[in-house]
């Protein structure tokens, strides 16, 4: 009861649906009162907004789960990128073995390809390349 005596009463303006939500949630979360729920919500949100370390405000299990999911995603993406690089390297070698292109044309083509990738966010199709190579 000593903690209650140290508290002060404030008048605040809140939308009715917000107070209904607080009423509903404080009962679900096991807090003793709506005031306790609101006070803890304010402390949590204030800490979250000003925190430099998000781990202080998210349960460790959430952080661990998300980190595991991100690690799995990162590993999968790395494997996919490696496979893609191998296939691209194979394609380059096959084309290079059957192509007679001078260094200047290759340099100009690289510049064009860089511009194409930048302008299309990497969405280049074989059809577009074929059309360009055939003068279209």
- Model confidence over 102-126: pLDDT tens digits? 999 989 988 998 898 888 887 888 8
Sequence-distant (6+) residues with CB within 8 A of 34 are 19, 22, 23, 26
Angle of the 16-29 helix axis to the 34-50 helix axis, nearest 10:
100
Q: Is residue 12 helix, strand or coil?
A: coil
Q: Could you report the per-residue pLDDT of 51-97, keeping only the tens digit for each?
A: 666 666 667 777 778 888 998 899 999 999 999 999 989 988 888 88
Average pLDDT, rounded, for the chain: 84
Contact 13, 22 (CB under 8 A): no
Distance (Å, whole) CA 34 – CA 104: 75
pTM for the predicted model, two decimal places = 0.43
User: Domain ranges in the chain?
Assistant: 2-57, 58-99, 102-136
């Amino acid at each position: 009861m000593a903690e209650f005596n140290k508290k002060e009463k404030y008048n605040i303006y809140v939308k009715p649906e917000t107070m209904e939500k607080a009423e509903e949630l404080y009962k679900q979360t096991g807090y003793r009162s709506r005031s306790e729920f609101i006070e803890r919500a304010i402390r949590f949100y204030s800490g979250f907004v000003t925190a430099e370390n998000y781990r202080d405000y998210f349960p460790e299990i959430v952080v661990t789960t998300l980190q595991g999911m991100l690690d799995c995603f990162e590993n999968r993406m790395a494997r996919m990128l490696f496979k893609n690089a191998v296939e691209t390297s194979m394609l380059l070698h096959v084309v290079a073995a059957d192509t007679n292109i001078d260094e200047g044309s290759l340099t100009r083509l690289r510049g064009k390809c860089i511009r194409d990738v930048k302008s299309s966010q990497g969405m280049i199709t074989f059809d577009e390349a074929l059309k360009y190579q055939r003068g279209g």
